[in-house]
A = this chain, B = another copy of it.
Amino acid sequence: MTHRIAILGASGYTGAELVRLISSHPSMVVTGLSGDRKAGMEMADVFPHLRHIALPVLQKIEEMDFSGVDLCFCALPHATSQAVIAGLPRDLKIVDLSADFRLRDPAAYERWYGKPHAAPELQAEAVYGLTEFYRDEIAQARLVAGTGCNAAAGQFAIRPLIEAGVIDIDEIVIDLKAGVSGAGRSLKENLLHAELSGGTHAYSAGGAHRHLGEFDQEFTRAAGRPVMVQFTPHLCPMNRGILASVYVRGEPEAVHAALARRYAPEPFLEVLPFGTLPSTRAVAGSNFVHIGVIGDRIPGRALVVCALDNLTKGSSGQAIQNANLMLGLPETAGLMLAPLFP
């Protein structure tokens, strides 16, 4: 059986990535695409790499017909998403890729995003979309909130360590290197090739990055008491990929064992042999996550490094993984594509 899929916000990178992945998915077909400013255009003109795929023309959301749609991916900008989703049919299954439904607490949302939530009842309904940790809730959910891509990378490295009690939860530093597609197809000076290629710098440092809201919410839930991490993202001259270097206090072998044990049954999580560290290049274009652990020369300290593709496992791949669960499909359907290297 083929499920009919609508994608809102198909003219952005996560929208295009959804189309790419669905094009080789065995049980999904795209039947509706929205792209506000590009309504009326063919996807082949917006994203030439999708030219070979038969796709509907881009529409305005208000022109779309959701009858017969089995699931809707919402790849709209933050803030826009909550307004749009509030207007969609109440029985439509939705995976939202924006930040709008990630934080359960309306006060936390307002603190991190600077204004009150416009659809607090939907916020209460939404399930946090980190599949490996919310699998059962997601399978039952109508509305799933995709995680932040950085938030996913950090949680994959840290959550099992909190749960296993093998690290000092007050001493966690996340130094993260992010590819530029995470910022979307937005016209900003600092995203120009001439500004970005050949160099690196930190951004949203000092505790300002909004994905900290997710870290706080999720680590606190996992630990059963407040946890605050220190987090610095850096922009790197690469199009895809996140490398989270996480500094923790604990026995390195115990750290490695906790991760290896936790992820042994997971199809997309690969824990490398102790002492081996991952590269973003080895996961680019795929739904896989590579995690490595090494001990420091200072006893009782370990480095956990987590690599994933921000557009795939960090966003659109995760979204399809969640949609698979919501539609009763095999969780890995359409997602076992190998990374692209070199």
Asked whether, in the complex, the Cβ of A52 is within 8 Å of the Cβ of B270, the reply is yes
The contact of A294 among B180, B195, B200, B205, by CB within 8 Å, is B205
Chain B residue at smallest Cβ distance from A24: B337
Shortest distance from the beta carbon of A195 to any chain B beta carbon, whole Å: 6
Chain B residue at smallest Cβ distance from A191: B192
Residue A275 is within 8 A (CB to CB) of chain B in the complex: yes
Report Cα–Cα, A298/B282, bound state, in Å: 34
- Chain B residue contacts of A279, Cβ below 8 A: 48, 199-201
Residue total for A at the interface (Cβ-Cβ under 8 A): 85
Asked whether, in the complex, the Cβ of A202 is within 8 Å of the Cβ of B239, the reply is no
Given A13-B342, A336-B23, A338-B49, A197–B206 Cβ distance below 8 Å? no
The contact of A175 among B185, B191, B245, B288, by CB within 8 Å, is B245
Find the residue from A19, A196, A199, A283 having the highest chain B CB count within 10 A.
Answer: A199
Asked whether, in the complex, the Cβ of A342 is within 8 Å of the Cβ of B206, the reply is no
- Chain B residue contacts of A341, Cβ below 8 A: 16, 20, 47, 49
Asked whether, in the complex, the Cβ of B238 is within 8 Å of the Cβ of A200, the reply is yes
Asked whether, in the complex, the Cβ of B337 is within 8 Å of the Cβ of A337, the reply is yes
Shortest distance from the beta carbon of A8 to any chain B beta carbon, whole Å: 20
Shortest distance from the beta carbon of A22 to any chain B beta carbon, whole Å: 9
Q: In chain A between 2 and 61, which residues have their CB closer than 8 angstroms to a CB of chain B?
A: 13, 16, 19-20, 23-24, 47-53
Residue A301 is within 8 A (CB to CB) of chain B in the complex: yes
The contact of A277 among B201, B240, B286, B298, by CB within 8 Å, is B201
Asked whether, in the complex, the Cβ of B240 is within 8 Å of the Cβ of A238, the reply is no
Asked whether, in the complex, the Cβ of A53 is within 8 Å of the Cβ of B338, the reply is yes
Report Cα–Cα, A202/B290, bound state, in Å: 13
Total copies of this chain within the assembly: 4
Asked whether, in the complex, the Cβ of B191 is within 8 Å of the Cβ of A185, the reply is no
Q: What is the 8 Å Cβ interface bit string for chain A, positions 268-299, against chain B (1 contact, 0 not)?
A: 10101001011111111110101000111110
Asked whether, in the complex, the Cβ of A230 is within 8 Å of the Cβ of B296, the reply is yes
The contact of A177 among B47, B53, B177, B280, by CB within 8 Å, is B177
Chain B residue at smallest Cβ distance from A302: B206
Given A175-B245, A177-B177, 16 more pairs with CB closer than 8 A: A24-B337, A51-B282, A187-B192, A191-B193, A191-B194, A198-B238, A198-B240, A198-B284, A199-B279, A199-B280, A201-B279, A205-B277, A207-B297, A228-B298, A234-B245, A340-B340
Closest 9 CB pairs of A and B: A207-B297, A199-B281, A201-B279, A194-B342, A48-B282, A175-B175, A49-B339, A206-B294, A187-B187
A residues with a Cβ closer than 8 A to B are 13, 16, 19-20, 23-24, 47-53, 173, 175, 177, 180-181, 185, 187-189, 191-202, 205-208, 212, 228, 230, 232, 234, 236-241, 243, 245, 247, 268, 270, 272, 275, 277-286, 288, 290, 294-298, 301, 303, 305, 307, 311, 336-342
